[in-house]
């Protein structure tokens, strides 16, 4: 028994991987960890987003927010729901808890309008992140941190023109998300070729892949597919392979597999809105407001994107995508 155990231990030690794995991750985490840098009171900030369960993008936002919270001595609470009414109820619970600051995303602004107004009326400073740049100010938020979805879409249209694309498919994975509609509309605006929208069920990856595959199968002229989230780019790549299409796959957002995809040319380009920055800045700006009444941006949205990332940038970013902060 002991001999077996020793053998297993020896094997696992001798077979140590020099790249990646848990140990590399721990080392990276250690580097990022720190104690709070300030001695302001321990305020409680709540963040309520429209994320679905297990969304990589919002995981990165949370990482940024948590790191800023640690630095600023903040008790950080996070909750989310992809149903408008549910999200509004979650904001209401934060108001009930009398939090010291509130961060919300306004993907479904109409559902959030009343409850955000209520938070402002209760004296809770509100910062909007990600989606809702158009509504943020009217709702009484201090500022908005995110990318302007239309501008991001336009950047995609320009990039597609530069790459001489003619017929493009825009894949929307979250029905009812106004920001997603704006992205595709923005791209359509600056893009010279033809572009059509395709709705897929973002919570069902095989379905996403099958839908894109069916579309590519039926129209071999499509020479580019734009997905609106990093995980869907991978599905589009697989769909392209099975359909035998020559389309270039491009995507919004960045993660480790997109970085790899850019490096090995399975992906054309990615438009990053820097989610880490959205979480980090939101917490930090709320802290600044609490501590010093500072407001960044003068009520205008603070843009975190779009940053068009191609093969050359991907090499430099790979390290950060691997630790899950880009």
Partner 1 sequence: MTSTGQPAAPPTDERLLRTSPLRKLLGRPELGSVVGAIAVFLFFAIVADSFLQASSLGTVLYAASTIGIMAAPVALLMIGGEFDLSAGVMVTSSALISSMFSYQMTANVWVGVFVSLLVTLGFGAFNGFMLTRTKLPSFIITLGTFLMLTGLNLGFTKLISGTVSTKAIGNMEGFDSARKVFASYLTIGDVELKVTILWWAALVAIATWILIRTRFGNWIFAVGGEADAARAVGVPVIRTRIGLYLGVAFAAWVSGQHLLFSYDVVQSGEGVGNELIYIIAAVIGGCLITGGYGSAIGSAIGAIIFGMTSKGIVYAEWNPDWFKFFLGAMLLLATLLNHWVRKRAEATK
Residues sharing a CB contact under 8 Å with residue 148, sequence separation 6 or more, in sequence order: 133, 301, 303
Q: In the complex with partner 1, which residue's Cβ is closer, 211 or 304? A: 211
Contact 215, 207 (CB under 8 A): no
- In angstroms, give the least distance from the CB of 73 to partner 1: 17
Which residues in this chain contact partner 1 in the complex, by CB under 8 A?
53, 77-80, 83-85, 89-90, 92-98, 108, 110-111, 113-114, 175-178, 181, 199
In Å, the largest CA–CA distance within the chain is 70
Pick from 205, 196, 211, 202: nearest CA to 173: 202
CA-CA distance, 168 to 316, in Å (whole number)?
29
CB of 121 to partner 1, least distance (A): 12
Task: Quickly tell me which residue has 């989230």 as its tokens.
Answer: 229
Neighbours of 234 (CB within 10 A): 22
Q: Smallest distance, Å, CB 88 to partner 1?
A: 8
CB of 64 to partner 1, least distance (A): 17
DSSP state of 19: S
Closest approach, Cβ 96 to partner 1, in A, equals 4
How far does Cα 223 stand from its chain's mean position?
26
Supply the minimum distance, in Å, between the C-beta of residue 175 and partner 1.
3
Cα–Cα nearest to 164, from 233, 227, 248: 248
- Distance of closest approach, residue 162 Cβ to partner 1, in angstroms: 28
Q: How far apart are CA 226 and CA 169, in angstroms?
A: 6
Residue 209 and residue 239 in contact, taking contact as beta carbons nearer than 8 Å: yes
Of 110 and 162, CB closest to partner 1: 110
Nearer to partner 1, 184 or 256 (CB): 184
Tokens found for residue 239: 């769909």
Is the CB of 79 or the CB of 263 nearer to partner 1? 79
**Closer of 152 and 243 to partner 1 (Cβ):** 152
Nearest residue to 194 via CA among 238, 146, 160: 160
Minimum distance from residue 84 beta carbon to partner 1 (Å):
6
Smallest gap from Cβ 59 to partner 1, in A, equals: 10
Residue number with CB closer to partner 1 (89 or 158): 89
**How many angstroms separate the Cα of 150 from the Cα of each of 11, 177, 185, 319?**
54, 13, 7, 30
d(CA 256, CA 260): 6
| Interatomic CA distance for residues 66 and 100, integer angstroms | 16
Q: Is the Cβ of residue 82 or residue 253 nearer to partner 1 in the bound state?
A: 82
What tokens were used for 293? 């009444």
Measured from the CB atom, the residue of 94 and 235 that comes closer to partner 1 is 94
Cβ neighbors of 112 (< 8 A, separation 6 or more) are: 84, 87, 88, 91, 104, 106, 132, 139
Would you say 23 or 121 has its CB closer to partner 1?
Answer: 121
């Amino acid at each position: 028994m002991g001999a077996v155990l020793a053998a297993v231990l020896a094997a696992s030690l001798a077979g140590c991987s020099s790249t990646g794995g848990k140990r590399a991750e721990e080392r990276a985490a250690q580097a990022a960890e720190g104690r709070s840098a300030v001695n302001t009171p321990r305020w409680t900030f709540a963040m309520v987003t429209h994320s679905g369960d297990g969304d990589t993008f919002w995981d990165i936002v949370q990482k940024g927010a948590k790191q800023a919270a640690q630095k600023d001595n903040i008790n950080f609470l996070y909750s989310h729901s992809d149903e408008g009414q549910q999200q509004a109820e979650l904001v209401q619970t934060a108001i009930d808890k009398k939090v010291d600051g509130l961060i919300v995303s306004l993907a479904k602004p109409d559902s959030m309008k009343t409850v955000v107004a209520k938070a402002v009326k209760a004296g809770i400073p509100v910062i909007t992140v990600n989606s809702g740049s158009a509504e943020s100010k009217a709702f009484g938020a201090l500022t908005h941190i995110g990318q302007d979805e239309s501008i991001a879409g336009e950047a995609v249209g320009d990039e597609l023109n530069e790459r001489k694309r003619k017929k493009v498919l825009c894949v929307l994975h979250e029905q009812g998300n106004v920001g997603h509609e704006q992205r595709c509309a923005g791209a359509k605006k600056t893009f010279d070729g033809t572009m059509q929208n395709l709705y897929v069920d973002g919570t069902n990856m095989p379905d996403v892949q099958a839908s894109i595959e069916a579309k590519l199968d039926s129209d071999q002229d499509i020479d580019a597919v734009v997905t609106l989230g990093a995980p869907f780019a991978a599905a589009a790549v697989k769909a392209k392979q099975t359909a035998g299409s020559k389309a270039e796959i491009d995507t919004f957002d960045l993660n480790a597999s997109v970085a790899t995809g850019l490096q090995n040319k399975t992906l054309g380009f990615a438009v990053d809105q820097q989610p880490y920055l959205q979480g980090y800045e939101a917490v930090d700006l709320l802290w600044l407001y609490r501590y010093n009444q500072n407001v960044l941006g003068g009520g205008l949205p603070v843009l975190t994107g779009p940053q068009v990332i191609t093969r050359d940038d991907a090499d430099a970013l790979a390290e950060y995508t691997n630790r899950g902060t880009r």
